[in-house]
Amino acid sequence: MNYLEEFRIKPGVKVRLKDLDPAFTDKNKKKKSAIHKIIKLQQRMDELQFQLYSEQKRSLLIILHALDAGGKDGIVRHVIGSMNPQGCRVFGFKQPSSEELAHDFLWRIEHATSRCGEVVVFNRSHYEDVLIVRVHNLVPKKIWSKRYEQINEFERRLVANGTHILKFFLHISKEKQLNRFRERLDDPARQWKISEADYSERDFWPNYEAAYDDVISKCSTNDPPWYVIPSDHKWFRNLAISKIIVGTMEKLGIETPEPIVNIDEIRRKYHEAKVEEEKQDLK
């Protein structure tokens, strides 16, 4: 199955998350074999990121969104974690500060976007300004409803300037979310991630679904599209996203740059130094 096409939302398609199965896996895919494939994909991802970093001509921006317990942190740890931190940054966007609120909603996002040669991951993003603000009526509809096109224009500008964008929505069921909350409660190492808001936000599940339906429908363009990833099974989620990232980076045609020094001259000097060292050792 070509995951680059299977989970890509085509422009103009009206998305209904209720119609998409969050527990989907390929019928021939099993967890054990998937983990083996993920390891190989991580190795390839690391190679491609090194080439991107050395080329210094373009960048990659990965945007992760999900309802609570959807797996954003899991993707950062188990997929993106294979990349070299020297050329990769992760931003987790929380409630905006007073300074950020004094600017337009894209101001803080602009400052975090990727530079040439860099991979940047957004754990939540500018889309919060058409999601949580809508669900909780933080700003009037006449304001947030205009932001879809502002976001599309912002992303078009990034793409035009050499940033390739991948947008992932990690789609989980309400039942699976509750199960993951229980797992956190039972695991002392992860209890810090639980809050009362996790449970109170579940009351807004239909509102968040409607908000995400509109976000994905209105902001999935030819470049960049949204990918809706079935995420009830962590192993399949990790496999699908790993394949999409690797497949996308391979299509970029990244080229390792030519050396900026005379390699033959460097070799000659190395040989001379080696000979001199050997002479010294014989004394």
Q: What is the pLDDT of residues 63-88, one digit of tens each?
A: 999 999 999 999 999 999 999 998 99
Q: What is the pLDDT of residues 198-255, one digit of tens each?
A: 899 999 999 999 999 999 999 999 999 999 999 999 999 999 999 999 999 999 999 8
Tell me what the pLDDT averaged over the chain comes to. Answer: 93
Return d(Cα 229, Cα 6) in angstroms, integer: 9
- Could you tell me the CATH number of the domain that includes residue 113? 3.40.50.300
* pLDDT, position 279: 77
Could you list the residue range(s) of the whole structural domain that residue 28 is in? 3-282
Return d(Cα 227, Cα 215) in angstroms, integer: 12
pLDDT category at 272 given cuts 50, 70, 90 is confident
Contacts of 276 by beta carbon, 8 Å cutoff, 6+ apart: none
Domains identified in the chain, total number: 1
pLDDT category at 8 given cuts 50, 70, 90 is very high
Q: Alpha helix locations (H) across 161-194? A: 174-186
- Under 8 Å between Cβ of 174 and 206: no
* pLDDT, position 277: 83
Q: Over 70: is that where the pLDDT of 262 sits?
A: yes
User: At which residue do the structure tokens 């909603």 appear?
Assistant: 105
Return d(Cα 202, Cα 207) in angstroms, integer: 10
Q: Over 90: is that where the pLDDT of 180 sits?
A: yes
pLDDT category at 195 given cuts 50, 70, 90 is confident
Q: Over 70: is that where the pLDDT of 28 sits?
A: no
Q: Report the pLDDT averaged over residues 138-166.
A: 97
Q: Over 70: is that where the pLDDT of 283 sits?
A: no
* pLDDT, position 261: 78
Q: Report the pLDDT averaged over residues 20-26.
A: 94
